[in-house]
Structure 1
Amino acid sequence: MWADNETSEDLLGFKVHADLLVNIIKDESILPITIGVFGDWGSGKSSILQIVKEEFDKDEDKESLCIYFNGWTFEGYDDAKAALLNSILKELEDNKKITAEIKDAVKEKAKKLWKSIDWMRGAGMVLKNVALPAVSAYFTGGVSLVPASIQIISQWSDSPEKIIEKLQSKEGKEIYESFIKQKKEGNNSSTNAIADLRKDFYDLLASTGFKRLVVIIDDLDRCSPERIIENLEAIKLFLNVPKTAFIIGADPRIVKYAIEHKYKSNKEIEEDNNRIVIDYLEKLIQLPYSLPRLSESEVETYISMLICKKEVGDTKFKNVLDEFKKYRITNKYSAFGLSNFEKILEAQEFGKVKDNVITIPSLVPLITNSLYGNPRQIKRFLNTYTIRKRLAEVASLVSFNDAVLAKMMILEYSEPKLFKKLFEWQIIQDGVPKEITNIEALCKDKGIEDVISEIKDSDFKEWSKPKIIKWFQIEPLLTGIDLRDYYWIARDKLENSITSTSMIPPVVRSLFNELLPDNMTAAVTKSLLSEKFQPFSDIEKDAFFNLLSSNLKRNPQQKRLYDIFNAMTEDKIENTVYQYMETLKIISVSDIEPAVATRLADFKSETEIGTFLNDYFKDGKTRASKAFNLKK
C-alpha cells in the first residue's frame, strides 16, 4: 500500500520543476516575487514544494531561509496574518542557521511587528465583526455587550470568556478608542500601519543576514473560501518586501471560486466577475507556473518505481532512486523500469519486482488516459489493485489473472456505466458474455476509426469511444474469460476506495457546495453547470456524480439535490440519466416528497428515464406516486 502524502522523494522526475523554482528565486534581481505553482488536485504540487524546501534547507546554503506554511493547518486560527507572522517568527527563532546573538535581535525587532498585527487584529477583526453600537454602548456606560455580539465573539476562540474579558478591560477600551480615532482620521493611518509593518518586517529580515526569505504556502485549496481569501490577504501584507519570495501551491480553479465567493454580494462587481478574478490573481501572482500532466513514459516510471520500493524496501531502493536521478539527467523522455532495475537489483529482488510489474507496461496508455496522468489517482488505483490481488489470494481463487484484474479495474474506474453493463451481460451467461467476443472480433486488426464506424452501426454503439476501443484491443483479451471472480472481488464497486467521497477533489466539492442553496434559480444552476461542470475532466465529473448521488441517498428528502439532477437531465449532460436512475433505485418512493415527484413527471416522455420513472412510481399508493401519476 502507498500513503497519500507529499514527499521530497522524487519518483516522478519532478525535481526539474523544483530546480527551476530554486534557480529563479536565487536570482536576486527578480526578488521580491510571488510564484503560483498551479495544478489539479493530486498533481504533485506538494511534493515539488517539499523538494524546494529541502534544497533551501541544506546546510551549505547559508544565504536562504525557507519557511513552510500549511494554510489548511491554520484554518482554525482567528487571524491569517497572525498565523503567518507567527510561523515566520517561530522559524527564525528555531532555525539552526541563526546564531543566538541574532535570535535575540530578531526577538527585539519582532515586538514592533506584533504591535502592528495586534492593531490589525483588534481593529480589523474584533471591532468590525462585533456591532460597533453594542461595544460603544458598553464603553459609554449604556448597556453591557448584547447577546448577539457575545455570540459572534464566542466563535473566535475555545475560550470566549477571555475575549469578552479583554474587550471589557482597559486595554480593550484603548483598542476601541484607537479604532474610532483611526476611523475619524480616514484610511491614511491604516495605510501607514501596513507600510510600517512592511518596513519593520524588512528590518527584521535584514538583521538575520539572509539574502532571501522563501515562504512556501501549501494546501491553500483545501481551505474554506473565506480562509483562502484571508490567507491571500495576509500574503499581500508582505508582498514587495525586498529579499522575499512567496511560493503558493494551489488548484487555481479553487482560488478563483474563493475570489468569486468574496465578491458575490457586490452586484456591480458581479457583472464583470471574470475580469475581477483575473485582476486579483495577476496582482498577487507575478509568476504562474502550471504543472503538466504525466506522460505515458512518466506514468510507467512512476508505477514501476512505486512497486519496486514496496517490494525491495527503503534501504535497497535508495540505490534504485540514485540511479533514476542520474538517468533523468541524460534521458528525460524514456521510461525507467524493469530493464533498468535488472542492472541494479540482485536476481531475487528483481524477480519479486518483475512479478508485480510485468502486467503494467501494456496497460500504461489506458491508465494514463483514464487517470489523466494524476499521481494521486495512480496511487489510489494501485492501492485498490493491491487489495484485490490480496483478496484473490486469501479467497484461493483459481485461474485468477492479475492482468485481467488491472484491465477490468480500468473499465470500472473510467466507464462505470459500461462496467455495470458488462456485469449484467456476464451474470446471465455464467461469467462469459458473448457480447465481449463479438466486440473483440470487431476490434481485431483494425484501426480505431474503422472500428468506431462499425460499432456505431451495431448494437454496441455505447462502446464506441476511442479509449474503450483501445481497452478492447489491448492484451489480455477477455474472450472466453470467466469474469465472475473479477466481479465478485470488485463487489464493493470501489465505494470505499477509488470513488470514496472522502477523496473528492476540492474543485468538485466547491462546485457542489456552490450549487446547494435552496433559493438558487434553475437558470443560475444551469449556468454554473455549463461554466464549471462541463470543463471538468472525466474523473472530476465522475466524482461530482458520486458526491451528488451519495448525498441524495443519505438525504432523500432534500429537494435541492433533485433540482441539480433535474437541471443536468434537462441539459442532457452525458451520464446524468444513468446516474440519476441508479440513485433513485436505492431510494424508497415513500421517502420522496410529492413536489419532487411532480417535477420528475416532466420527464415522462423522455425515452430512457421516462420508462424507468413510470415503473418506479407505478404503485400509486404513496403520496409521491399519486403526485407523479396525477400530472399528465
Structure 2
Amino acid sequence: MWADNETSEDLLGFKVHADLLINVIKDESVLPITIGVFGDWGSGKSSILQIVKEEFDKNEDKDSLCIYFNGWTFEGYDDAKAALLNSILKELENNKKISEEVKDTIKEKSKKLWKSIDWMRGAGMVMKNVALPAVTAYFTGGLSLVPLAIQKLTEWGDNPEKIIEKLQSEEGKKIYKAFIKEGKEEDKNAINAVAEFRKDFSELLETTNFKRLVVIIDDLDRCSPERIIENLEAIKLFLNVPKTAFIIGADPRIVKYAIEHKYKNNKEIEEDNNRIVIDYLEKLIQLPYSLPRLSESEVETYISMLICKKEIGDAKFKNVLDEFKRYRLTNKYSAFGLSNFEKILEAEEFGKVKDNVITIPSLVPLITNSLYGNPRQIKRFLNTYTIRKRLAEVASLQNFNDAVLAKMMILEYSEPKLFKKLFEWQIIQDGVPKEITDIEALCKEKGIEDILSEIKDTDFKEWSKPKIIKWFQIEPLLSGVDLRDYYWIARDKLENSITATSMIPPVVRALFNELLPDNMTATVTKSLLSTKFQPFSDIEKDAFFNLLSSNLKRNPQQKRLYDIFNTMTEEKIENTVYHYMETLKIISVSDIEPAVATRLADFKSEPEIGTFLNDYFKDGKSRASKAFNLKK
C-alpha cells in the first residue's frame, strides 16, 4: 500500500520543476515575487514544494531562509492575515540557520511587529463580535469603523438590532458624526500602519543577513474562500518587501472561486466578473507556473518505481532512486522501468518486482488516459488494485488473472455506467457475456474511426468512445473469460464505483456548494454548469455526480438537489440520466415531495428516463405518485 502524503522523494522526475523555481528565486533582480504553483488536485504540487524546501534548507545554502506553511492550518484562526504574520515572525525567531546573537536582535525588532499583529487580531475579533454585516449596512457610506467605534459598539453588546437602535438615538447620532470625522483621519492612519509594518518587516529581514526569505504556502485551495483571500492579501499588503519570495501551491480554479466569492454581491463587478477575477489574480500572483499532466512514459515510470520501492524496501531502493536521477539528466522522455531495474537489482529482488510490474505496462496508455496523468489518482488506483489482488489470494480464487483485474478496474474507474452494464450482462450468463465477444469482434484489426462508425449502428452504441475501443483492443482480451470472480471482489463498489469513495477534489466541492442555494435561478444554474462543470475532467465529473447523488440519498426531501439534477437532465449533460435514475432507485417514492414529482413529470416523454419515471411512480397511492400522474 502507498500513503497519500506529500514527499520530497522524487519518483516523478519533478525535480526539474523545483530547480526552475529555485533558479528564478535566486535571481535577486526579480525579488520580491509571488509564484503560484498551479495544478489539479493530486497533481504533485505539494511534492514539488517539499523538494524546493529541502534544497533551500541545505546547510551549504547560507544565503536563503525557507519557511513552509500549510495554508489549511490557519483555517480556524479568527484572522488569517494575523496568523500568517505571527507564524513567520516565530519562524524567524527560532530558525536553526540563524545565530543566537542575530536571534536576540530579531526578537528585539519584532516587538513592534508583534503589537501590530495583536492589534489586527483584536480588531478582527471585535468586528465579528458586533455582527459586522448588520452594522456596515447601517453605515451606508461604507466607512471603516475606527477604534472609538469599535470600543463603543462593544459596550453596546453583540445584538445587531440593539446596536442599530442605539445608533438611531440622540446619543447615537452624535457618536455617528464622531465616527465620520475620525474615520477620515483613521483611514490615513490605517494606510500609514501598513506602510510602517512593511518598513519594520524589511528592516527585520536585513538583520538576518540572508539574501532571500522564501515562504512556501501549501494547500491554500483547501481553505474557505475568505481564508484564501486573507492569506493572499496579507502577502501583498504586508510582506511583499525586498528579498522575499512567496510560493503558493493551489488549484487555480479554487482561487478563482474565492475571488468570485469576494465580489459576489457587487453587481457592477459581477457584470464583468471574468475580467475582474483575472486582473485580481494577476495582481496577487506575478508568476503562475502550471504543472503538466504526466505523459505515458512518466506514468509507467511512476508505477514501476512505486512497486519497486514496495517490494525491495527503502534501504535498497535508494540505489534505484539514485540511478533514476542520473538517468533523467540525459533522458527526459523514455520510461525508467524493468529493463533498468534488472541492471541494478539482484536476481531475487528483480524477480519480486517483475512479478508485480509485468501486468501493468501494457495498460499504461489506458491508465494515463483514464486517470489524466494524476499521481494521486494513480496511487489510489494501485492501492485498490493491491487490496483486490490480496483478497483474491486470501479467497483462493482459481485461475485469477491480475491483468484482467487491472483491465476491469480501468473500466470501473473511467466508465462506471458501462462497468455496471457489463456486470448485468455477465450475471445472467454465468460470468461469460457474449456481448463482449461481439464487441471485440467489431474491434478486431480496424482503425478507431472505422470501428466508431460501425458500432454506432449496433446495440452497443453507448460503448462508442475512442478510449473504450482501445480498452477492448488491449490485451488481455475478455472473450470467454469468466468475470464472476472479478465482480465478486469488486462487489462493495458496484453501487458507486471506486471514485465514489475517493476524496472529493476541492474544485468539485466548491461548485457543489455554489449550486446549493435554494433561491438560485435556473438561468444561473445553467450558466454555472456550462462554465464550471463542463470543463471538468471525467474523473471530476464522476466525483460531482457521486457527491450530488450521495447527498440526495441522505436528504431525499431537499428540493434543491433535484433541481440540480433536473437542470442537468434538461441540458442533456452526459451521464446525468444514468446517475439520476440510480439515485432515485434508492429513494422511496413516499420520501419525495409532490412538487418534486410534478417537476419530474416534465420528463415523461424523454427517452430512457421517461420509461423509468412512469414505472417508478406507477403505484398511484403516494402523494408524489398522484402528483406525477396528475400532470399530463
TM bin, normalised by shorter chain, reads over 0.9
Q: Give, in angstroms, the shift of residue 242 of structure 1.
A: 0.2
CA displacement, residues 275-334 of structure 1 (integer Å, 9 cap, x when unaligned): 110011101111110000000000000000000111111001111101000000000000
Structure 2 length normalisation: TM-score? 0.93
What is the match of residue 592 of structure 1?
592
What is the match of residue 550 of structure 1?
550
Q: Give, in angstroms, the shift of residue 85 of structure 1.
A: 1.5
What is the match of residue 276 of structure 2?
276
Matches within 5 A, 1:477-496: 477-493=477-493
CA displacement, residues 352-380 of structure 1 (integer Å, 9 cap, x when unaligned): 11000001100000000000000000000
Q: Give, in angstroms, the shift of residue 148 of structure 1.
A: 2.7
Distance across 2 between alignment mates of 1:143 and 1:213: 39
Local SS of the residue matching 2:41: coil
Q: Give, in angstroms, the shift of residue 534 of structure 1.
A: 0.5
Matches within 5 A, 1:354-365: 354-365=354-365
What is the match of residue 614 of structure 1?
614
What is the match of residue 498 of structure 1?
498
Say if 1:180 and 1:73 are closer, same or farther in 2 by CA, change over 3 A.
farther
Equivalent position amino acid for 1:628 in 2 = F
Equivalent position amino acid for 1:621 in 2 = K
Q: Give, in angstroms, the shift of residue 127 of structure 1.
A: 3.6
Q: Give, in angstroms, the shift of residue 126 of structure 1.
A: 2.2
Distance across 2 between alignment mates of 1:500 and 1:204: 50
Q: Aligned match of 2:159 in 144, 148, 169?
A: 148
Asked if structure 1 preserves the Cα contact closer than 8 Å seen for 2:82 and 2:120, the reply is no
CA displacement, residues 172-211 of structure 1 (integer Å, 9 cap, x when unaligned): xxxx9x9988624052211111111111000000001000
What is the match of residue 350 of structure 1?
350
Local SS of the residue matching 2:72: coil
Q: Does 1:26 align with 2:37?
A: no
Equivalent position amino acid for 1:148 in 2 = N
What is the match of residue 567 of structure 1?
567
Asked if structure 1 preserves the Cα contact closer than 8 Å seen for 2:130 and 2:158, the reply is no
Local SS of the residue matching 1:574: coil
Say if 1:247 and 1:497 are closer, same or farther in 2 by CA, change over 3 A.
farther
Q: Give, in angstroms, the shift of residue 149 of structure 1.
A: 6.6
Asked if structure 2 preserves the Cα contact closer than 8 Å seen for 1:39 and 1:250, the reply is yes
What is the match of residue 159 of structure 1?
none
Asked if structure 2 preserves the Cα contact closer than 8 Å seen for 1:593 and 1:623, the reply is yes
Distance across 2 between alignment mates of 1:262 and 1:4: 32
Say if 1:353 and 1:215 are closer, same or farther in 2 by CA, change over 3 A.
same
Asked if structure 2 preserves the Cα contact closer than 8 Å seen for 1:307 and 1:356, the reply is yes
Q: Give, in angstroms, the shift of residue 454 of structure 1.
A: 1.1
Distance across 2 between alignment mates of 1:335 and 1:502: 28
What is the match of residue 14 of structure 2?
14
Say if 1:347 and 1:183 are closer, same or farther in 2 by CA, change over 3 A.
same
Q: Give, in angstroms, the shift of residue 150 of structure 1.
A: 13
Matches within 5 A, 1:131-210: 144-148=155-159, 183-210=183-210
Matches within 5 A, 1:233-632: 233-493=233-493, 498-500=498-500, 503-632=503-632
Distance across 1 between alignment mates of 2:502 and 2:77: 24
Say if 1:310 and 1:503 are closer, same or farther in 2 by CA, change over 3 A.
same
Q: Give, in angstroms, the shift of residue 123 of structure 1.
A: 3.7
Distance across 2 between alignment mates of 1:610 and 1:138: 60
Distance across 2 between alignment mates of 1:90 and 1:151: 41
Distance across 1 between alignment mates of 2:37 and 2:506: 16
Local SS of the residue matching 2:246: strand
Local SS of the residue matching 1:72: helix
Greater shift in the superposed pair: 69-78 or 605-614: 69-78
Q: Give, in angstroms, the shift of residue 120 of structure 1.
A: 2.8
Q: Give, in angstroms, the shift of residue 69 of structure 1.
A: 1.2
Distance across 1 between alignment mates of 2:56 and 2:128: 40
What is the match of residue 170 of structure 2?
none
Q: Give, in angstroms, the shift of residue 249 of structure 1.
A: 0.6
Say if 1:4 and 1:341 are closer, same or farther in 2 by CA, change over 3 A.
same
Local SS of the residue matching 1:34: strand
Greater shift in the superposed pair: 27-36 or 230-239: 230-239
Local SS of the residue matching 1:397: coil
What is the match of residue 218 of structure 1?
218
Local SS of the residue matching 2:2: coil
What is the match of residue 106 of structure 2?
106
Say if 1:179 and 1:251 are closer, same or farther in 2 by CA, change over 3 A.
farther
Asked if structure 1 preserves the Cα contact closer than 8 Å seen for 2:129 and 2:158, the reply is no
Distance across 2 between alignment mates of 1:587 and 1:204: 62
Distance across 1 between alignment mates of 2:3 and 2:432: 36
Say if 1:151 and 1:247 are closer, same or farther in 2 by CA, change over 3 A.
farther
Asked if structure 2 preserves the Cα contact closer than 8 Å seen for 1:110 and 1:204, the reply is yes
Say if 1:67 and 1:137 are closer, same or farther in 2 by CA, change over 3 A.
closer
Say if 1:182 and 1:299 are closer, same or farther in 2 by CA, change over 3 A.
farther
Q: Give, in angstroms, the shift of residue 136 of structure 1.
A: 7.0
Q: Give, in angstroms, the shift of residue 129 of structure 1.
A: 5.7
Query: What percent of counterpart residues are identical?
Result: 88
What is the match of residue 166 of structure 1?
none
Greater shift in the superposed pair: 223-232 or 254-263: 223-232
Equivalent position amino acid for 1:600 in 2 = L
Local SS of the residue matching 1:73: helix
Asked if structure 2 preserves the Cα contact closer than 8 Å seen for 1:182 and 1:190, the reply is no
What is the match of residue 169 of structure 2?
none
What is the match of residue 172 of structure 1?
none
CA displacement, residues 252-289 of structure 1 (integer Å, 9 cap, x when unaligned): 00000010011001111111111110011101111110
Asked if structure 2 preserves the Cα contact closer than 8 Å seen for 1:300 and 1:364, the reply is yes
Say if 1:479 and 1:120 are closer, same or farther in 2 by CA, change over 3 A.
same
Distance across 2 between alignment mates of 1:418 and 1:24: 47
What is the match of residue 158 of structure 1?
none
CA displacement, residues 366-419 of structure 1 (integer Å, 9 cap, x when unaligned): 000000000000000000000100111111111100000000000001001111
Say if 1:497 and 1:79 are closer, same or farther in 2 by CA, change over 3 A.
farther
Task: Report how many residues are paired.
Answer: 608
Asked if structure 2 preserves the Cα contact closer than 8 Å seen for 1:552 and 1:561, the reply is yes
Equivalent position amino acid for 1:626 in 2 = K
Distance across 1 between alignment mates of 2:125 and 2:58: 39
Q: Give, in angstroms, the shift of residue 457 of structure 1.
A: 1.4
Asked if structure 2 preserves the Cα contact closer than 8 Å seen for 1:597 and 1:624, the reply is yes
Is there any run of 5+ residues in structure 2 with no aligned partner, and where? 136-144, 164-175
Equivalent position amino acid for 1:609 in 2 = I
Distance across 2 between alignment mates of 1:110 and 1:583: 58
Equivalent position amino acid for 2:3 in 1 = A
What is the match of residue 160 of structure 1?
none
Q: Give, in angstroms, the shift of residue 564 of structure 1.
A: 0.2
Say if 1:548 and 1:120 are closer, same or farther in 2 by CA, change over 3 A.
same
Distance across 2 between alignment mates of 1:119 and 1:328: 51
Asked if structure 1 preserves the Cα contact closer than 8 Å seen for 2:148 and 2:179, the reply is no
Distance across 1 between alignment mates of 2:162 and 2:322: 58
Asked if structure 1 preserves the Cα contact closer than 8 Å seen for 2:620 and 2:629, the reply is yes
Distance across 2 between alignment mates of 1:302 and 1:137: 59
Equivalent position amino acid for 2:489 in 1 = I
Local SS of the residue matching 2:3: coil
